[in-house]
Amino acid sequence: MTKMFLCKIGDVESDSLKEVALGNGEKVCVIKSGEALFACQAHCPHEGIPLRDGCLDGTTLTCLEHLWQWDVRSGEPMGLAERPLTMLELEVDGESVYLKD
């Protein structure tokens, strides 16, 4: 199993998202809900709007373009959303956050 460095824990403010570019040109969002960290695809599965521009309220992520919502703990759709988010597995080592492959 390999892992890819994404950011430091302190780079993501509590109750916010940070978009991180991967070396292969793809992007992911690192989400900090309280002290819990999650990661998901960087764009809304509806129309590709960057999720970094969305709103995080507790564990609910809302894309502000069409108000699709997801539970960041599972990626499950809520409300109007018709498709789940692709969630990614993280590993925290000290203050560093890694994407597990």
Q: Which domain holds residue 75?
A: 3-100
Model confidence pTM above 0.75: yes
CB 40 within 8 A of CB 29: yes
Kindly report, residue by residue over 77-100, the tens digit of the pLDDT: 999 999 999 999 999 999 999 999
* Number of compact structural domains in the chain: 1
CATH of the domain at 8: 2.102.10.10
Here the tokens at position 77 are 């759709």
